[in-house]
């Protein structure tokens, strides 16, 4: 087998495993060598075969070969069935996906392979949700498969008859075969669901035409009106029940019909023409008695070939009697409720987390009933968009046209030409996902039409709002090309997100050739103008804005670096650009100051200020005076004077229009402060003086060492800053603890701390020397190594100024931004300093304690658990004497404390024991 000899007794089992998979020698050797190397450096818990499954999967996915006689067809996965691999290694699919992600971190897996694992997870999640929807639809149309008491396995030579259970299997297999022909549908929940509806519609029609009455559910509402009549005659031509299925099962009729016409029928026609399936030229008669046996076996053979050629999991796993164990669902979870298992996973692919900066923009959450499903939620988002755009057209209205004409005769044509050019770029890129580009053109045109309609609606609303203030010159905004480009790009992004497409941000920007730096300017404008946006849409837009601010704008090719150069490389402090007041005492430099956010001036500022920068070299005049108010179309800001730390309770700043660069850093600093204070909250850093030291050091890095952010991520710099300040103030805090808390933040990702750039991408920059070795090409290391080799060397001199052992009377700490966002960390939170009682979100990790804690989970735990906790909180406490009682005459009567019941005594003892344990820590 080519496997090196090893003393490990597991070596023989590995040989047997390779034989069972028919694995070639090279792949077997690579997988075994990788496994031994990882085992040498890491402690691999659990069954070794589970980790070997990860090693074999990666070794096979690294092999891509051409089929014999066909140079255009590629085979991925080395002809190894993932489902068979998991069965031989006795590992469930959900468990395998989790371990493969850990394996990816341990072997520093390339991004391309990581994306394949993410795609595998997404495809699995979509398929599981679709299968859950498929079962009730099938049972409504046909007789229940559960009524068949026994399932007799047929040999390959035995003829298969069209029973209810076989029809169920055939329908699902036909669906997954069709889905496999269109990779664009695999990760798209909405489109995959509509493909399923097209499959159900087709199978149901064929059952009617074949007159297989014993399979039909007579209570189904889609039956022909005369079905029960004696004069009923089976239809000779196919009927369509798409309208009925969409109305009763959360479908979108127009999309389902497009899928049926351009995807389903096209694929079916190809299968019949190539004689993979037997049917008539009109794509019918698949279920006739003479054809069903052949078609049932042929469609399964077709899908098996696909699974081996791509190395994906076999979606027929849902049909297995052992589906729960093979998928990894809990024992009490039935196959029908498998989607609930994914809902309980930490990375729920259909549950959009709220970004830390987004909670102020969201309206109160409306009740989400038990009937809510991923498919229903996705469909409802599309319906909401359609209601928003009701009575709107994909071109300027008469009112908008008159406004544009008043500015320029050719302005309307110029804007339409720009939008058409961007639309052509979008369609061209949309259809390049796979070889079926012609079939995607209809989808691209439909998405484009919705985006154009939304663009002109938003454009008109924004201009109307700007025009309410006669002091604003709306021509500056109407004639600004970047505004139109980013507004249209955002409309496309919202449409793609609503359809749950895999073209994730920043795909739209790459397709339209718009840099992310410009994109953030329009997001908040849209959120404020369009007040009917769904909650998940707002979450997504804010998440996109955070991505632009924390990393995408800091790429080497970003226009941000040119603006910084034009500004003489001067980066402002937050208090210089905040539309706020500094509150706090003026006596000491280390006073707990915070910058209060003021939202109203920001709302009233003209949108054009986001796109037009002030003239370079504008003087920076600082003057003290009365509270500054908004003046015409200029934005003013307040600044702190660096005068030995003296900070009056109300300071004002220069009369200066900060423009797009100032707005960017205002948002960037605010995002950084929200994330920093959330990390401090999780790390139990409550000393505001310490937080101000962290914030001041972070500002120093951004202002004095701006290149530290080039091609890196905000979170990387924040975690390093927190750690270095905690070190200099002698706070015992490990880097692992910081990263653990970071993983609780909604935007966290493992590659942030696993892959940090250490050498520049820009050839004009000088190479970095690490451990005496000259690094000329881009290289990446983990965050701790980056801290030790790069960050400490640059920042240590400044960080030592904040040391508790250093006396620096001239040290001035920057005011801490006062985040309006309510920090709701998923970690536990102590309710009272006196009592060791904690609250936490349900999905957070449980409290670690040597003693089993008392806990109560809302709507789940029994009543007695809450009563036990209440006994602790309501226990009697000895009352302290009033100081005035010492001057009263006579002895003070001794108050008698009522004896607590036995259960209270036990709980009190447990309480004291835990308090001692916490004190020891």
Q: For residue 463, give the nearest of 404, 520, 382 by alpha carbon.
A: 404
Task: Say how many residues make up the chain.
Answer: 921
Cis ω for the linkage preceding 117 (within 30 of 0): no
DSSP codes, 392-415: --SS--HHHHHHHHHH-TTHHHHH
Instruction: Give the Cα separation of 435 and 169 in Å (integer).
Output: 29
| Count of CB atoms situated within 10 Å of the CB of 98 | 18
* Residue 910 pLDDT grade (very low, low, confident, very high; cuts 50, 70, 90): low
Secondary structure class of 850 (helix, strand, coil)? coil
Is residue 272 within 8 Å of 177, Cβ to Cβ? Answer: no
> Which comes out higher in pLDDT, residue 531 or 919?
531
Rounded Cα distance, 116 and 313, in Å? 12
Q: Same topology for domains 378-550 and 657-759+779-801, yes or no?
A: yes
Which of 823, 680, 818, 829 is CA-nearest to residue 357? 823
As a whole number of angstroms, the distance between CA 427 and CA 891 comes to 92
- The β-bridge relationship of strands 756-757 and 768-770 is unpaired
5-109 CATH pick, 1.10.472.10, 3.30.70.100, 3.20.20.120, 3.40.50.300: 1.10.472.10
Contact 186, 434 (CB under 8 A): no
CA 404 to mean position of chain CA atoms = 39
Chain-centroid distance, C-alpha 340: 19
Asked if 324 and 333 touch (Cβ cutoff 8 Å), the reply is: yes
Lowest mean pLDDT among 244-248, 391-395, 535-539, 849-853: 849-853
**CA 86 – CA 95 distance, rounded (Å):** 10
Q: Average pLDDT of the chain?
A: 75
Q: What is the pLDDT of residue 749?
A: 87
Is residue 590 predicted with pLDDT exceeding 70? no
Encode pLDDT of 521-571 as tens digits.
999 999 989 888 988 899 999 999 999 999 999 999 999 999 999 888 899
pLDDT of residue 329: 58
Least confident residue range of 131-145, 458-472, 483-497, 588-602: 588-602
Lowest-confidence region among 209-218, 285-294, 759-768: 759-768
SS3 state at 845: coil
Please report, for the chain, the start and end positions of each structural domain, with discontinuous segments joined by +. Answer: 5-109, 120-146+161-315, 378-550, 657-759+779-801
DSSP H or E stretch at residue 581: strand 580-583
**Least trusted range by pLDDT, from 75-84, 99-108, 418-427:** 75-84
In this prediction, residue 716 carries a pLDDT of 96
* 133: nearest Cα among 89, 177, 196, 210: 196
Q: Which of 390, 410, 511, 411 is nearest to 454 (CA)?
A: 390
Q: How large is the average pLDDT for residues 490-498? A: 93
- Is the pTM above the cut of 0.75? no
Question: Which of the given ranges, 386-390, 615-619, 675-679, has the highest pLDDT on average?
Answer: 675-679
Give the residues across from 817 on adjacent strands. Answer: 595
- Residue 548, judged by CB atoms within 10 A of its CB (0-12, 13-18, 19+), counts as buried
Choice between 902 and 619, residue whose per-residue pLDDT is larger: 902
- Residue 585: CB atoms within 10 Å: 12
Q: For residues 396 and 453, what is the distance between their CA atoms, to the nearest angstrom?
A: 9
Expressed in angstroms, the distance from the first to the final Cα of the chain is: 54
CB contact at 8 A, 758 and 779: yes
Residue 742 has a pLDDT of 94
Query: Mean pLDDT, to the nearest integer, of 623-632?
Result: 28
Q: What are phi and psi of 524, to 5 degrees?
A: -65, -30
Could you read off the pLDDT of 369-401 as tens digits, one per residue?
A: 445 566 777 778 888 888 899 889 998 988 888
Residue 906 pLDDT exceeds 70: no
Residue 29, judged by CB atoms within 10 A of its CB (0-12, 13-18, 19+), counts as middle
614: three-class secondary structure by DSSP: coil
**Which is more confident, 135 or 773?**
135
pLDDT of residue 13: 82
Q: Do 716 and 783 contact (CB within 8 A), yes or no? A: yes
791, pLDDT greater than 50: yes
Given a cut of 90, whether residue 169 has pLDDT beyond it is: yes
The tens digit of pLDDT for each residue in 714-740 reads 999 999 999 999 999 989 899 999 999
Q: From CA 467, how far away is CA 753, in angstroms rounded? A: 47
DSSP character for 229?
S
Max mean pLDDT range (159-163, 169-173, 601-605) = 169-173
In the beta sheet, which residues pair with residue 76? 64
Class of domain 378-550 (CATH, top level) = mainly alpha
DSSP-derived secondary structure for 739-765? HHHHTTSTT--HHHHH-EE-S-SSTTS
More confident call, 12 vs 76: 12
The Cα 192–Cα 795 span in angstroms is: 51
In this structure, the strands spanning 838-839 and 594-597 are unpaired
Give the distance, in angstroms, between the CA of residue 841 and the centroid of all CA atoms in the same chain.
19
Smallest CA-to-CA distance from 312 within 545, 550, 83 is with 83
Query: Considering the chain, what percentage of its residues have pLDDT values greater than 70?
Result: 70
Q: Comparing C-alpha atoms, which of 573, 616, 647, 625 is closest to residue 817?
A: 573
Q: How far apart are CA 916 and CA 921, in angstroms?
A: 9
Backbone angles phi, psi at 64, to 5 degrees: -130, 120
CB 191 within 8 A of CB 499: yes
CA distances from 794 to 718, 742, 789, 791 (A): 15, 23, 9, 5
Determine the pLDDT at residue 512: 94
Mean pLDDT over 665-692 rounds to: 92
pLDDT tier for residue 67 given thresholds of 50, 70 and 90? very low
**For 22-48, what is the HEC assignment?**
CCCHHHHHHHHHHHHHHHHHCCCCCCH
Q: What is the pLDDT of residue 352?
A: 61
Give DSSP secondary structure letters for 37-98. Answer: HHHHHS---S-HHHHHHHHHHHHHHT-EEEETTEEEEEEESTT--HHHHHHHTT--HHHHHH
Q: How far apart are CA 624 and CA 654, in angstroms?
A: 8
H helices of 683-773, where? 688-704, 714-728, 735-742, 750-754
Token pair in block for residue 551: 């990393």
pLDDT score recorded for residue 832:
52
Q: What is the pLDDT of residue 461?
A: 92
* DSSP structural state of residue 831: S
Question: Dihedral of the CA atoms 141, 142, 144, 149 (nearest 10)?
Answer: -170
Q: Mapping DSSP to helix (H, G, I), strand (E, B) and coil, where does residue 596 land?
A: strand
Percent of the chain surpassing pLDDT 90: 26
- Closest by CA to 271, choosing from 291, 289, 257, is 291
- Given a cut of 70, whether residue 822 has pLDDT beyond it is no
Chain segment 423-477, per-residue pLDDT in tens: 999 998 888 754 455 556 778 888 999 999 999 999 999 998 888 877 777 888 8
| Helix 688-704 vs helix 659-682: crossing angle, to nearest 10 | 140
Residue partners of 913: CB distance under 8 A and separation at least 6: 851
Joined tokens for residue 14: 């590995």
CATH code given to domain 657-759+779-801: 1.10.472.10
Q: What is the secondary structure of 493-545 as a DSSP string?
A: HHHHHHTT-S--TTHHHHHHT--HHHHHHHHHHHHHH-TT--HHHHHHHHHHH
Alpha carbons within 13 angstroms on the beta-carbon side of residue 611 total 21
Cβ atoms of residues 349 and 121 within 8 Å: yes
User: Cα(335)–Cα(128) distance, rounded to whole angstroms?
Assistant: 10
Q: Give me the pLDDT at residue 621, please.
A: 30
């Amino acid at each position: 087998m080519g496997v090196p000899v090893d003393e490990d007794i597991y070596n023989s089992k590995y040989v047997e495993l390779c034989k069972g998979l028919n694995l070639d020698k090279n792949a077997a050797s690579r997988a075994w060598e990788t496994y031994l190397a990882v085992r040498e450096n890491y402690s691999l818990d659990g069954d070794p075969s589970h980790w070997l499954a990860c090693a074999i999967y990666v070794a096979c996915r690294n092999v891509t070969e051409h089929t014999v006689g066909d140079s255009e067809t590629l085979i991925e996965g080395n002809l190894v069935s993932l489902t068979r691999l998991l069965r031989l290694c006795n590992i469930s699919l959900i468990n395998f996906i989790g371990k493969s992600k850990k394996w990816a971190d341990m072997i520093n897996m390339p991004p391309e392979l990581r994306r394949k694992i993410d795609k595998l997870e997404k495809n699995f999640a979509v398929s599981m949700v679709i299968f859950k929807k498929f079962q009730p639809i099938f049972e409504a149309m046909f007789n229940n498969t559960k009524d068949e008491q026994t399932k007799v396995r047929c040999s390959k030579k035995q003829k298969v008859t069209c029973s209810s259970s076989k029809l169920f299997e055939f329908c699902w297999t036909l669906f997954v075969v069709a889905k496999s022909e269109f990779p664009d549908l695999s990760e798209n929940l909405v489109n995959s669901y509509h493909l399923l509806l097209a499959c159900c519609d087709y199978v149901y029609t064929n059952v009617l035409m074949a007159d297989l009455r014993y399979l039909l559910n007579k209570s189904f509402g889609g039956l022909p009106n005369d079905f029960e009549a004696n004069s009923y005659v089976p239809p000779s031509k196919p009927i369509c029940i798409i309208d009925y299925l969409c109305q009763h099962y959360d479908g979108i009729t127009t999309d389902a019909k497009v899928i049926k016409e351009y995807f389903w029928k096209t694929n079916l026609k190809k299968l019949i023409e190539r004689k993979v399936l037997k049917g008539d030229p009109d794509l019918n008669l698949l279920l006739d008695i003479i054809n069903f046996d052949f078609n049932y076996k042929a469609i399964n053979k077709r899908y098996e070939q696909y699974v081996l050629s791509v190395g994906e999991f076999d979606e027929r796993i849902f049909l297995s009697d052992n589906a729960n164990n093979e998928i990894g669902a809990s024992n009490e979870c039935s196959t029908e409720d498998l989607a609930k298992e994914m809902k309980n996973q930490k990375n729920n692919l259909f549950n959009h987390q709220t970004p830390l900066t987004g909670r102020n923009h969201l309206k109160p959450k409306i009740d989400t009933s038990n009937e809510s499903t991923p498919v229903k939620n996705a469909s409802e988002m599309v319906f909401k968009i359609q209601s928003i755009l009701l009575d709107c057209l994909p071109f300027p209205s008469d009112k908008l046209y008159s406004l544009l004409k008043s500015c320029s005769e050719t302005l309307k044509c110029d804007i339409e030409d720009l939008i058409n050019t961007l639309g052509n770029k979008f369609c061209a890129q949309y259809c390049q996902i796979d070889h079926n580009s012609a079939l995607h053109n209809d989808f691209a045109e439909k998405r484009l039409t919705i985006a154009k309609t939304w663009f002109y609606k938003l454009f008109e609303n924004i201009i109307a709002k700007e025009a309410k203030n006669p002091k604003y010159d709306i021509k500056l905004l109407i004639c600004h090309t970047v505004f139109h480009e980013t507004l249209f790009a955002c409309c496309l992004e919202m449409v793609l997100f609503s359809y749950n497409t895999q073209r994730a941000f920043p795909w739209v920007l790459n397709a339209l050739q718009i840099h992310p730096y410009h994109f953030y300017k329009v997001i908040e404008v849209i959120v404020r103008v369009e007040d009917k946006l769904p909650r998940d849409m707002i979450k997504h837009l804010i998440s996109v804005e955070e991505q632009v601010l924390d990393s995408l704008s800091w790429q080497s090719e970003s226009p941000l670096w040119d603006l910084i150069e034009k500004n003489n490389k001067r980066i402002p402090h937050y208090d210089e650009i905040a539309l706020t007041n500094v509150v706090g005492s003026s006596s000491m430099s280390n006073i707990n100051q915070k910058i209060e956010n003021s939202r109203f001036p920001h709302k009233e500022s003209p949108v054009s200020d986001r796109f037009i920068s002030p003239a370079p070299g504008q003087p920076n005049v600082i003057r003290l005076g009365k509270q500054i108010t908004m003046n015409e179309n200029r934005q003013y800001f307040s600044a702190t004077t660096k005068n030995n730390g003296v900070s009056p309770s109300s300071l004002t700043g220069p009369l200066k229009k900060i423009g797009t660069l100032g707005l960017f850093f205002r948002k960037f600093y605010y995002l950084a402060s929200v994330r920093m204070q959330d990390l401090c909250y999780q790390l139990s850093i409550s000393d505001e003086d310490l937080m101000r030291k962290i914030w001041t050091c972070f500002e120093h890095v951004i202002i004095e060492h701006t290149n530290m952010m080039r091609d890196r991520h905000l979170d990387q710099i924040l975690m390093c800053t927190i750690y270095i300040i905690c070190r200099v103030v002698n706070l015992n805090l490990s880097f692992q603890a910081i990263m653990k808390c970071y993983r609780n933040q909604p935007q966290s990702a493992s590659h942030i701390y696993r892959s940090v750039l250490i050498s520049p991408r820009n050839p004009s920059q000088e190479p970095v020397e690490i451990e005496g070795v000259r690094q000329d090409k881009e290289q990446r290391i983990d965050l701790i190594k980056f801290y030790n080799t790069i960050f400490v060397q640059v920042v240590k001199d400044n960080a030592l100024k904040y040391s508790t052992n250093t006396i620096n009377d001239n040290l001035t700490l920057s005011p801490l931004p006062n985040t309006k966002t309510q920090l709701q960390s998923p970690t536990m939170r102590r309710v009272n300093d006196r009592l060791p009682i904690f609250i936490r979100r349900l999905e957070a990790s449980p409290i670690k304690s040597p003693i089993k804690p008392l806990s109560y989970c809302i709507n789940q735990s029994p009543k007695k658990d809450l009563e036990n906790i209440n006994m602790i909180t309501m226990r009697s406490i000895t009352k302290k004497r009033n100081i005035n009682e010492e001057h009263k005459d006579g002895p003070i009567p001794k108050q008698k404390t009522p004896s607590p019941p036995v259960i209270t005594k036990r709980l009190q003892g447990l309480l004291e024991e835990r308090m001692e344990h916490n004190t020891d820590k």
